[in-house]
């Protein structure tokens, strides 16, 4: 079902993990997709080739989300390569664990730059290109509302910030027919967040379903919010967390 046929999407941080799953799902649903990657070109090239071989359209763009100018340029390039923009998915994000007294100012600034400022910059640059039916979706975290324990305060703060930004933007952009939402994943198995080890065991015990989710679970939710069926949904923080917050 090509529910996103003729739609044009940009996914930041789209070459691996949850981002790559989102890119694949949007392409499968018929969208033309551009995605950014920060450094490693090989996974980006592989993903682009995979989608092209399946008859889809994918464009990879090298851009470090910590650099506001590169984020802005990535939006412009996506618009140029795709012929416009209908869907923006802010997926790029980083975390650095540690109690507040052990988090360096450098790590603090980097998390703010990528998890918050880059989201604002991408939205700021994308809005002029989004018409009625436009979609803005940001990957947040269940930690914005519920933390497992010490060591995640700064990360949780950044994800709470984008949830607040989303609610405000929903009011601003609703009259223009543009929806703005946050997906808040819980424990999701990726290379950067494996479902094995002490931390994974603790997370798994807190979920209602008793296991980690898959990147595809998050991608399904993003695809729905990007679809025409979700036109009456805006300003929400949608927990995709296996019941972690239940």
Could you give the CA distance from residue 164 to residue 187 in angstroms, rounded to a whole number?
22
Among residues 32, 36, 8, 1, the alpha carbon closest in space to that of 20 is found at: 36
Write down all domains in the chain, each with its CATH number in brackets: 8-239 (3.40.50.720)
Could you give the CA distance from residue 170 to residue 137 in angstroms, rounded to a whole number?
11
* CA-to-CA dists, residue 14 to 129, 162, 185, 211, angstroms: 20, 18, 16, 24
For residue 1, the model assigns a pLDDT of 66
- Sorted by sequence, the CB contacts under 8 Å of residue 187 that are 6+ apart come out as 193, 195, 200, 203, 204, 207, 212, 213, 241, 242, 244
Could you give the CA distance from residue 14 to residue 33 in angstroms, rounded to a whole number?
10
For residue 96, the model assigns a pLDDT of 80
For residue 110, the model assigns a pLDDT of 96
pTM recorded for the entire structure? 0.96
Tens of pLDDT along the chain (246 residues)? 699 999 999 999 999 999 999 999 999 999 999 999 999 899 999 999 999 999 999 999 999 999 999 999 999 999 999 999 999 999 999 988 778 888 999 999 999 999 999 999 999 999 999 999 999 999 999 999 998 788 899 999 999 999 999 999 999 999 999 999 999 999 999 988 888 888 898 889 999 999 999 999 999 999 999 999 999 999 999 999 999 998
Sequential DSSP letters for 150-202: TT-HHHHHHHHHHHHHHHHHHHHHGGGT-EEEEEEE-SB--SSS-S-SHHHHH
224 catalytically annotated:
no
For residue 46, the model assigns a pLDDT of 97
Side-chain half-sphere CA neighbours of 129 within 13 A:
24
CB atoms within 10 A of CB 170: 19
For residue 191, the model assigns a pLDDT of 85
Among residues 37, 155, 212, 224, the one annotated as catalytic is: 155
CB atoms within 10 A of CB 199: 16
Among residues 69, 77, 84, 110, the alpha carbon closest in space to that of 7 is found at: 84
């Amino acid at each position: 079902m090509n529910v996103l046929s003729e739609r044009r999407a940009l996914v930041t941080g789209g070459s691996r993990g949850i981002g790559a799953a989102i890119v694949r799902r949007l392409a499968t649903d018929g969208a033309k997709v551009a995605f950014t990657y920060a450094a490693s070109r090989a996974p980006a090239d592989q993903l682009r080739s995979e989608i092209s071989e399946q008859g889809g359209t994918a464009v990879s763009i090298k851009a470090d989300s910590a650099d506001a100018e590169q984020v802005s340029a990535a939006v412009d390039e996506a618009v140029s390569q795709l012929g416009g923009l209908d869907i923006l998915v802010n997926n790029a994000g980083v975390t650095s664990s540690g109690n507040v007294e052990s988090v360096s100012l450098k790590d603090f600034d980097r998390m703010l730059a990528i998890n918050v400022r880059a989201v604002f910059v991408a939205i700021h640059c994308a809005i002029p290109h989004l018409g009625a039916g436009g979609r803005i979706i940001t990957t947040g975290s269940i930690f914005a509302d519920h933390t497992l324990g010490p060591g995640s305060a700064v990360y949780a703060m950044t994800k709470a910030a984008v949830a607040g930004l989303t609610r405000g933007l929903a009011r601003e952009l609703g009259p223009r027919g543009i929806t703005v939402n946050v997906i808040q994943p819980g424990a999701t198995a990726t290379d950067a967040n494996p479902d094995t080890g002490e931390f994974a065991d603790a997370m798994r015990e807190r979920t209602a379903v008793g296991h980690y989710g898959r990147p595809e679970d998050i991608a399904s939710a993003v695809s729905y919010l990007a679809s025409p069926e979700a036109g009456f949904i805006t300003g929400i923080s949608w927990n995709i967390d296996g019941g972690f917050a239940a």
